[in-house]
């Protein structure tokens, strides 16, 4: 009796494994169209292409990742909109696009002059990561990995290091994001809301004469050629992530989910280190092609910090949800207390 039951169990187990193998072998490949505004030929684009090849190879063709880079889909607001309606299943986007999905992400990137180092930023992000992932999950998205594109700097058509020197300039402001240009306006500045895909045209026509982004982006998109002065103040980190629609994720076989997540995490770590290492190199390359870097003195930096702190009551609530603004303050304070002797 026991032997018969054992035989039956073995047969059922074998049949179950066999049926799963047949399903896996006959299932149609899942095509994941991923959109991003990163320039073609950059380290992010090359790494994405490599990720695509590895994913198809390791899943025996069951998953196919098709990359749409270089802004051909539009700016990040368009990418998120098209992902929501199903035209794209995934995206590699910055906190600008992510904030359209859930504004909590702004706590990592929308508080200027908040971090003193990458180590400090990484600590804050790691402490918030699980909570942010859960919020995106509830909105219908899976965060596959984190990334960043370096420190944001101001690029201008004339030298600028003092807060007052920026006031007469027409500053590019990301359109369709969770921010509010009125904060800049109330401080006496002139923000000009534009899609990121219109920055080059804006610089060419005089619609804007200043923008803020990372050196890698300024070089990759060639914006620096029309705004050849960079302020060396580290304004904020440009945070990003690779996200996939949850309904598509649920269609992926469990073993392929493991492969995709592993490759995505490795991709995120590799590209983070590469982007940070390339930051100084990209500045050197731009200097060889006409960029002038202007140092911000301690005196001027103090004025910038006073300006930012003056805007904190507006940033908290308008740009960053109050509870997350307070949380990152607490986490950063904890980090600094742990490393105060360094």
Q: What is the DSSP letter of 220?
A: H
3-state helix vs strand vs coil in the chain, percent to 5: 55, 20, 25
Closest among 190, 191, 193 to 175, alpha carbons compared: 193
Structure token digits, residue 175: 């359109």
Mind spelling out the 3-state secondary structure of 76-134?
Answer: HHHHHHHHHCCCCCEEEEEHHHHHHHCHHHHHHHCCCCCCCCHHHHHHHHHHHHHHHHH
Specify which of 68-72, 262-266, 336-340 reaches the highest per-range mean pLDDT.
262-266
Region 265-278: what's the mean pLDDT?
Answer: 89
Residues 6+ away with beta carbon under 8 Å from 257:
249
């889909």: which residue's tokens?
73
Q: From CA 84, how far away is CA 89, in angstroms rounded? A: 8
pLDDT digits (tens, 9 = 90+) for 272-312: 888 888 899 999 999 999 999 999 999 999 999 999 999 99
Dihedral sign from CA coordinates of 72, 73, 77, 83: negative
The partner residues of 36 in beta bridges, in order of sequence, read 92
Helix (H) or strand (E) holding 273: helix 254-288
Cα distances from 228 to residues 40, 96, 174, in angstroms, run 22, 24, 20
Cα distances from 58 to residues 29, 54, 63, 136, in angstroms, run 13, 6, 9, 27
Percent of the chain with pLDDT over 70: 90
User: Domains in the chain and their CATH numbers?
Assistant: 28-328 (3.40.190.170)
Cα distances from 68 to residues 91, 144, 200, 264, in angstroms, run 9, 18, 20, 17
The partner residues of 243 in beta bridges, in order of sequence, read 91, 143
User: What is the pLDDT confidence band of residue 176, given thresholds at 50, 70 and 90?
Assistant: low
Question: Looking at residue 254, what is its pLDDT?
Answer: 97
Q: Which pairs from 81-87 meet CB under 8 Å and 24+ separation?
A: 82/35, 83/35, 83/245, 86/245, 87/33
Q: From CA 299, how far away is CA 221, in angstroms rounded? A: 32
Residue 21, pLDDT above cutoff 60: no
Cα 320 to the center of its chain, rounded Å: 16
Region 309-335: what's the mean pLDDT?
Answer: 94
């Amino acid at each position: 009796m026991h032997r018969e039951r054992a035989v039956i169990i073995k047969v059922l187990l074998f049949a179950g494994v066999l049926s799963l193998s047949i399903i896996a072998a006959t299932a149609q490949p899942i095509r994941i169209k991923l959109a991003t505004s990163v320039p073609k030929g950059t380290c992010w684009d090359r790494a994405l292409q490599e990720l695509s090849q590895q994913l198809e190879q390791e899943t025996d063709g069951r998953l196919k990742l098709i990359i749409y880079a270089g802004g051909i889909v539009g700016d990040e607001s368009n990418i998120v909109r098209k992902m929501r309606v199903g035209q794209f299943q995934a995206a590699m986007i910055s906190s600008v696009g992510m904030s359209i999905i859930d504004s909590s992400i702004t706590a990592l990137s929308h508080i200027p002059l908040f971090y003193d180092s990458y180590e400090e930023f990484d600590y804050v992000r790691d402490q918030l990561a699980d909570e942010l992932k859960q919020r995106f999950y509830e909105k219908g998205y899976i965060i596959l990995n984190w990334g960043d594109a370096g420190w944001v700097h101001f690029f201008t058509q004339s030298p600028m290091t003092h807060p007052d020197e920026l006031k007469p300039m027409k500053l590019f402001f990301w359109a369709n994001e969770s921010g509010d240009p009125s904060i800049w306006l109330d401080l006496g500045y002139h923000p000009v809301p534009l899609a990121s895909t219109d920055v080059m045209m804006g610089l060419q026509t005089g619609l804007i004469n200043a923008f803020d982004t990372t050196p890698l982006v300024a070089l990759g998109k060639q914006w620096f050629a029309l705004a050849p002065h960079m302020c060396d103040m580290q304004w904020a980190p440009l945070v990003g992530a690779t996200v996939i629609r949850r309904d598509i994720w649920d269609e992926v076989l469990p073993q392929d989910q493991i492969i995709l997540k592993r490759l995505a995490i490795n991709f995120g770590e590799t590209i983070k280190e590469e982007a940070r290492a390339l930051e100084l190199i990209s500045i050197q390359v731009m200097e060889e092609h006409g960029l002038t870097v202007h140092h911000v003195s301690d005196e001027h930096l103090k004025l910038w910090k006073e300006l930012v702190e003056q805007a904190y009551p507006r940033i908290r609530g308008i740009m960053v949800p109050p509870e997350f603004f307070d949380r990152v303050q607490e986490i950063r304070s904890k980090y600094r207390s742990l490393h105060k002797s360094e």
